[in-house]
């Protein structure tokens, strides 16, 4: 994937926030169409099945876990559904959905979920030792970049969705 084509009829943030095409908030949001297109483009590139060095299953489990830690239940549902559509390890899915990374044997996914927890919940405590555990678990630098961007993007996406849903609720009062 280089630059994905933006399709306004298939916008994940619109879907997650429940914005109907043509509704006032949908029209307002798409006054900032460059933001909408780049948000969707980020989602598409971060979850590109062809991305090398980090599996789509690993990325969807990371996204699910990040949403769960942030309390974004409905955004978590989206990533759980996508993960369940893949051949995904049942124990790994259970850990991302309701467990702790330390329940997994040492390895790639455990290292990724530990890093996800740090970035999502205590970003200020990040240090060199934390990131160096990723290459130590066999994760390449480009895969570390993709992983970090994904976790940080989820923090962005769930806040945009939360803000839009609150705007929708405010308009309905």
Partner 1 sequence: MSNVIKSNGFTNESLEWDAWLDVITLEQASQDQIKVLEESNPKAKTSDYYLFLAHQPDILRQRSAAFNAIMYAPGGLSRAERELGSLVVSRINGCVYCASVHAQRFEQLAKRSDTVQQVFDNPHGAGVDAREKAIARFSAELTEQPDAIDAAKIAALKEVGLTDLEVLDLIHSIAIFAWANRLMLNLGEPVFADGRPAE
What residues line the site for partner 1 (CB under 8 A)?
Answer: 1-3, 25, 28-29, 31-32, 34-35, 37-39, 41-42, 44-46, 48, 70-73, 115, 118-120, 123-124, 126, 128, 130-132, 135, 141-142, 144-146, 148-149, 151-153, 155-160, 162-167, 169-170, 172-173
- The angle formed by the CA atoms of residues 86, 89 and 95, to the nearest 5 degrees, is 115
Whichever of 21 and 166 has its CB closer to partner 1, that residue is 166
Whichever of 21 and 156 has its CB closer to partner 1, that residue is 156
What string of DSSP letters covers 26-71?
A: HHHHGGGHHHHHHHHHHHHHHT-TT-SSS-HHHHHHHHHHHHHHHT
* Minimum distance, C-beta of residue 89 to partner 1, in the bound complex (Å): 25
Return the closest-CA partner of residue 63 out of 23, 109, 19: 109
Whichever of 91 and 122 has its CB closer to partner 1, that residue is 122
* Minimum distance, C-beta of residue 28 to partner 1, in the bound complex (Å): 5
| CA contacts within 13 A on the Cβ side of 19 | 30
CA distance 151 to 148: 5
* Minimum distance, C-beta of residue 12 to partner 1, in the bound complex (Å): 13
């Amino acid at each position: 994937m280089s630059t994905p084509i933006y399709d306004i009829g298939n916008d994940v943030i619109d879907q997650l926030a429940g914005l109907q095409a043509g509704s006032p908030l949908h029209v307002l949001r798409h006054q900032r169409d460059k933001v909408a297109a780049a948000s969707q483009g980020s989602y598409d590139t971060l979850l590109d099945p062809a991305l090398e060095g980090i599996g789509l299953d690993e990325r969807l489990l990371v996204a699910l876990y990040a949403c769960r830690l942030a309390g974004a239940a409905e955004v978590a549902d989206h990533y759980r559904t996508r993960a369940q559509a893949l051949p995904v390890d049942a124990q790994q899915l259970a850990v991302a959905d309701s467990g702790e990374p330390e329940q997994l044997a040492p390895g790639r996914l455990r290292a990724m979920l530990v890093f996800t927890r740090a970035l999502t919940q205590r970003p200020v405590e990040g240090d060199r030792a934390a990131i160096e555990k990723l290459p130590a678990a066999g994760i390449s630098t480009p895969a570390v970049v993709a992983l970090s961007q994904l976790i940080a993007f989820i923090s962005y996406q769930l806040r945009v969705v939360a803000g839009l849903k609150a705007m929708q609720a405010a308009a309905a009062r």
